[in-house]
Amino acid sequence: MRSLGMAAAAIAFAATGAFAADKPDELKIGITTFLSGPASVFGEPAKAAADMIIEQINADGGIDGVPIAASYVDEGAGGEALVSEYRRLVEDVDVDLMLASISSGNCNQLAPLAEDLKVLNLMWDCGTQRIFEENDYRYVFRTQANATPEMLATVLYLLKTKPDFSTIAVVNQDYAWGRDSWDIFQTALKAMKPDAKVVAEFFPKFGAPDFSTEISRLQALRPDVILSTSWGGDLDTFVRQAAQRGLTNTSTLVLPLAESSLQRLGSALPPGHIVGGRGDHYFLHPERVGDPAFDDFMKAFHDKTGAYPIYPVFHMSQALAAVKAVYAKAIEANGGEWPDREQVVDAMDGLSFQGLGNEVTIRDDHQGLEDQLLGTTAKSDEYGFAILKDIMLFDAEDITTPVGEESIEWLKTLGPDFVASVEPKTYAD
C-alpha cells in the first residue's frame, strides 16, 4: 500500500525520487527545536543561528551547488504533534535529513522512528547518554557530547580547583535530566573522592517559581559546594534568590549549564563560582577567539539577536557543519557525483567536522566526541555580566565513556587517581 503512495510521489517528483544520484534542486532539512515553552530559551537562539548559518552556506554556493532549505518543527507542541510533523516532513516533504532534537525525551521517541523511516537523523542537542548505550542505530548520530562527559568534566574541574571541600548539596530540576545528571555526577564524585559527603538533595519541580525554603535549609546546612544542573528560568531564579540571601558567599555554586544564563544573570552571579556550557561552548572560547569566522559570527549573532551565542547555538553550528562535511565526504567517495541517501549515512561513520567549537568526531557507536570547557566566574566591566577565568578545556577522548560500555558502570571503575591522570588545557585568564 505504501508503494502506491511512493509511486505517486515518484511521478510527481521524478527528479528527486527516481534517480537518487541526480543533484536535487535543494537539500531539504527538517529541524526540531523548542519555539514555545520554557525550553525555548534554547530553541529560539538555535533557530536564529540555523537561519544565519544556512544563509551563509547558501550564499557560499550551497552544498556542492545545492542550496539548503530548512523546515522547523516546534518541540513544545507536544509528543503527538511532533511525531506527526516529523513524519510529514520525512514522508510528504521528503526531507534529506532531520536535525532532532533538544529534549532527550523527544530524542528517545524520534530515534527509533528515524531508524524505521530510514532517514538520517542528527541528534543536535539532546543529552541523554542512554540512547547509544542501550540501542544500535544505523541512521541516528549525535553531533555533540552527552551527559556523561559533561558531568565528568564538571566533577574533574571541581576536584582540580577545590580539592579540599568536604560537603555537597544538590538542587536539580525534578525531571529526567535533573535526576540523570545527579546520578552521573554523584557516581563520578564517589569514585574519585569517596569522602565527600552529600548533605542534602533537593529536586524542586520543573519550573518552580520559588526556592526560598530550599535556600533557608541550605543556609542552615552550609555545604561547601552546591551543585545545580538546572537551566533557563529555574536556574536564574535559584541563583538570584541564593545571591540575594547571601548563600553565594558561604557556598561555591557548581552550575554546569550556567553558560546559557550568564548574560541574563548580569551581576547577580558573583565571582568564584563554577560554570560550564555542555561542551566547549563559550563566546570567548580561548582556542577560537581570533579566528575570523568565529569572531565574525559572534558579532553578527549579537547584532541580530542582541545577545552573544550560548551553547545551543554552538550545537546547531556543529550539526550543520556535520551536514556540510558529510556531503563533501560522500560526494568524494562517490567519485564526485551526488550521493544517494544511504551513501550519505555511510559517510557519517568516523566523520570529523568543526562548528563554532573545536573539531568533533563521530565514533563507531555514533556518539560525537566533543571537548568540554569549564571556568570560574569573574567580574567583567566590559560586558556587564560575569565572564569565565581559569578555563579548563578537557579532551573528549579522556572523559567520554568508551564504546560499548555503560556510563554508570564505567564511572564506578574510576579511582581517585583519575583526577590527576586527566590533564586539561588550562588558560589563566
Partner 1 sequence: MNLQLFALAFFDGIAYAALVFLVAVGLTLIFGVLRVLNVAHGSFYAMGAYATASTVGAIVAAGYSPWLAFPMMIIASALIGGLIGGPVEKLLLRRIYDMEEVLQILVTFAVFMILEDVQRLVWGVQPYFESSALMVLGTVDVLGITYTAYQLILLPVVAILVLVGLRIFLRHTLSGKLILAVTEDREAATAIGVNVDRVYLVTFVVGASLAAFGGALASATTSVIPGMGADMIVLSFAVVATAGLGRIEGAAITALLIGLGRSFAVYLAPELDVLVPYLIMLAVLLVRPEGLFGMAHTRKI
Partner 2 sequence: MRSILPALIVLLVAVTPVLAPTSQVLLTLAFAKGLAVLGIIVLLQAGQVSFGHALYFAVSAYVAASVARSFGGELVTTLLAGVAAAAVVGLVVGVFVVRYRYIFFAMLNLAVSMIFFALLEKFYYVTGGSDGLQVPRPTVVGLTLERGEFETILFYGALVLSLLAAWGTHRYLASPLGNMLRAIKTNEVRLEYLGVSARSTLLSGYVLSAALCGLGGALMAVAQGIVTPEYAYWVRSGEFVFIAILGGSGSVAGAFVGALIYEGVRTYAAAFASDIWQMVLGIVLLVIIIFGPSGVTGLYQRLMDRLVGPARPRGAGDSERAPGAAE
The tally of CA atoms less than 13 A away on the side-chain side of residue 258 is 31
The answer to whether 264 contacts partner 1 (rule: CB under 8 A) is yes
The answer to whether 202 contacts partner 1 (rule: CB under 8 A) is yes
Residue 28 Cβ, how far from partner 2 at the closest point, in Å? 14
The answer to whether 371 contacts partner 1 (rule: CB under 8 A) is no
Which cell numbers hold the place of 329? 565526504
Residue 74 Cβ, how far from partner 1 at the closest point, in Å? 11
The answer to whether 40 contacts partner 1 (rule: CB under 8 A) is yes
User: Pattern of binders to partner 1 over 237-256, x per CB under 8 A?
Assistant: x--xx--xxxx---------
**Which residues partner with 72 through β-bridges?**
31
Q: With CB under 8 A as the contact rule, which of the stretches 34-42, 191-199, 353-361, 393-401 interacts with partner 1?
A: 34-42
Residue 105 Cβ, how far from partner 2 at the closest point, in Å? 4
**Which residues partner with 273 through β-bridges?**
none
- Number of Cβ atoms within 10 Å of the Cβ of 130: 17
Distance CA 286, CA 22 (A): 43
**Closer of 234 and 371 to partner 2 (Cβ):** 234
Distance CA 41, CA 233 (A): 9
The answer to whether 108 contacts partner 2 (rule: CB under 8 A) is yes
The answer to whether 179 contacts partner 2 (rule: CB under 8 A) is yes
The answer to whether 125 contacts partner 1 (rule: CB under 8 A) is no
**Closer of 117 and 199 to partner 2 (Cβ):** 117
Helix-helix angle 292-305:40-59, to 10 degrees: 120
The answer to whether 233 contacts partner 1 (rule: CB under 8 A) is yes
The 10 Å CB-count burial string (b at 16+, else e) for 46-78 is: bbbbbebbbeebbeeebbbebbbbbebbbbbbe
The answer to whether 37 contacts partner 1 (rule: CB under 8 A) is yes
- Residue 330 touches which of partner 1, partner 2, none (Cβ within 5-8 Å per kind): none
Identify each DSSP E strand in 256-299 by its residue range.
274-276
DSSP alpha helix (H) spans, 162-225: 176-192, 212-221
The answer to whether 92 contacts partner 2 (rule: CB under 8 A) is yes
DSSP alpha helix (H) spans, 27-146: 40-59, 79-87, 104-117, 130-134
Q: Summarize as ranges the residues that interact with partner 1 (CB under 8 A).
A: 35-38, 40-41, 43-44, 174, 201-205, 207, 209-210, 212-214, 216-217, 219-220, 232-234, 236-237, 240-241, 244-247, 264-265, 268, 307
